[in-house]
Structure 1
Amino acid sequence: MKVLYIEDDPRAAAELCELGWQQGDIIAVETDGQSGLRRAGIEAFDVIIMDRMLGDSDGLALVARLRDSGVSTPVLMLSALGRTSDRAEGLEAGADDYLAKPFEALELLARIRALHRRASGREHSAVILYGAFECHVKARTAFRSNRHLALSPREFELFRYFMENAGEVITREMLLFDVWNMAFDPQTNVVDVNIGRLRRKLEEGFDSPALETVWGSGYRLLEGRAEPRTEDQAP
């Protein structure tokens, strides 16, 4: 990916550039809002990461100006302000996602890649394949090793989201925002309960796991390559 990072903290900018280099991405850095605004208007980027509180500019005003000028590049806003009202302000100003500081590098990477996929339209593929899994989007059917998985509507939406972000760590907040359309955490176990149900259906009858819990971060879909158990092999 080619990413524009508008950040006035040199240490934060250097850390993300190093991380991007390790992943094979190009991270262009602008240290003030006005320079970032100009560059976003003349160069093509896959994702823009913008700090909300810049020395010369307000990130909310900047992203609003970007949208007014016709720049549709996905914007991920970073901020130390993490209340529900702060997140709502960022999204209403035109940001596509909002991540409160401090955050884990894995989550930041997962979010910008998810934004990139969403913008490129790959999530609209008729069939998504990953390892032993198949997700037939229009038919709303799921398979593992050619075995049909009987998923409820909510479980299918979860499965589809994991397939769209296959192999990446998906946080609870990402699921709430993208699957449940919630810009806040309702402080319930709705995600955990539904993940548990989905995991059981993905793994029932197979000897290898399908969903990995990444402690302190979230969940990751595994490739699930394994032959189904036969009746003689069933425990």
Structure 2
Amino acid sequence: MTFLKIEHLQFRLGDWQLQVCLRAERGDCIALIGPSGAGKSTLLSLIAGFDRPDDGGIFVQEQRIDSLAPAVRPVTMMFQENNLFNHLTIYQNIALGCHPGLKLTDDDYELIEGALKATQLGALRSRKPADVSGGERQRAALARCVCQKRPLLLLDEPFTGLDPRLRAEMHDLVDALRKDHSLTVIVVSHLPGEIARIADTLAFMHAGTIQEHGPTEATLTDPKSSDLREYLRFTASG
């Protein structure tokens, strides 16, 4: 059974239109690459429920979700802004993933401890977000996503503000959490060479459509689309 099916999805914004079909299996990591304005973040917003499509359908494990409110979709999303609450500790911010009122069960406590260990934040659990580094705040936001126990994780360039070494560490952490929790991940990136370390496939978006989608290595080394070839030349030179 295909885990995620996006069928003939359409979304109009003035004269601009997104038209996408996409499939993913459970545990896949798909990287959305392409120029600014191609529709990558818009596609994530449609999957998460922050925008509603004009036509088409989004299915997760055969359940249609495009009419559901964001809060009840089997989806969690992480943005460039970590959206941590400054008055709460790192532990409490992560625990919000389990319950918005911090009413935690024994299973929740166990899940939070596992997330703290996986993200190496155990020693920082009592600190406030202002008292940790940017990379540590992003790890806390990622741990909170894991604690929501939703099988589809969307990443809208959350690590762009980090230096290359920290980005690589965060990509490796995402990969480890994906495998440990059987997550399906869709990540937006403007750095195809970096995201290739964790992506099973690359989907190149251009002008609101997916022009090319295939295995990461083959897509990078033998692109079929002239737009993709030009994009890869530009990102390599930049």
State the TM-score bracket (shorter-chain normalisation). 0.3 to 0.5
Q: Name the one with the larger strand percent.
A: 2
Rg: which structure is higher? 1
Scaled by the length of structure 2, what TM-score is found? 0.33
Scaled by the length of structure 1, what TM-score is found? 0.33
